[in-house]
Amino acid sequence: MRVALKFAYDGKHCSGYARQPQQHTVEEALLHTLITNTLIRSAQDSCFRTASRTDRGVSALGNVCAFDTTLSPEEIIRRVMDETSAVFVYGATEVPSGFYPRYAKQRIYRYYLKRPGLNGEAVISTAALFTGEHNFSNFARIEPGKDPVRSIDNIVIAEKKDFFVIDFFAQTFLWNQIRRIVSALEKVGAGKLLYAQVKDALDHPEKKVDFQVAAPEPLLLKDVLYEFSFHYVKEYTKKVQQFENRIIASL
């Protein structure tokens, strides 16, 4: 059968997501967990796939992977629930044969932007510019052949201690898209950039500008959503919150 897992990790302690020779990466740690617990034999044999490959330094609270296995979701949860590796696996469910987790219904990313010195109203009003469909050529690293047009469903901003907690909702994101948007929001909030400059860069992607890239460590892949739900380990919400608290404590 094919099974999907939901998992979290602290990206600050890994050399990026994808496997690399002689490097400790998220994918390497995840596969080590799966193989040592005899859930799969190898990535190739199990047709292992992941929903999102996050940049170096970026963490996740709800990434998803899928693979072929002979074990039920319940047995998988039993085997990994006490796992103490860098990757925390906390959900599993059976999915159709050939399921590819990259094709998700929605992704949610969260960025912890430090509040001191920033004008909150300016940050919030500028963030509203990015909802809906836009050409994000000036707010992403566009790979060859990639369409720069994307749609952001919503951006929600809350305050938590010394941070603006910014949640981005969309089906897909471009490389560095969120971090470049956040860099622009931070500069507007600090009075180093005008709202009108950001709007002009978004409305006129043919006029190349660079508002730089925000740090990766405050960015988390909060969740990846599908038309189905997962079977979770006991008290998973509490454990995921504790995981998030540990990540932001070092920011």
Q: Is the pTM higher than 0.75? A: yes
CATH of 106-203, one of 3.40.47.10, 2.60.40.3140, 3.30.56.10, 3.30.70.660: 3.30.70.660
**pLDDT single digits (tens) 66-120:** 999 999 999 998 888 766 667 889 999 999 998 999 999 999 999 999 999 999 9
What's the average model confidence in pLDDT over 34-50? 92
**What are the extents of the domains in the chain?**
2-103+226-249, 106-203
Closest CA to 76 of 9, 27, 5, 7: 5
Choose the catalytic residue: 10, 45, 55, 68: 55
Domain covering 2-103+226-249 assigned CATH 3.30.70.580 in the classification:
yes
Q: What is the pLDDT of residue 29?
A: 86
**pLDDT single digits (tens) 188-220:** 999 999 999 999 999 999 999 999 999 999 999
55 noted as active-site residue: yes
Q: Does the pLDDT at position 58 exceed 90?
A: yes
Q: Does the pLDDT at position 142 exceed 70?
A: yes
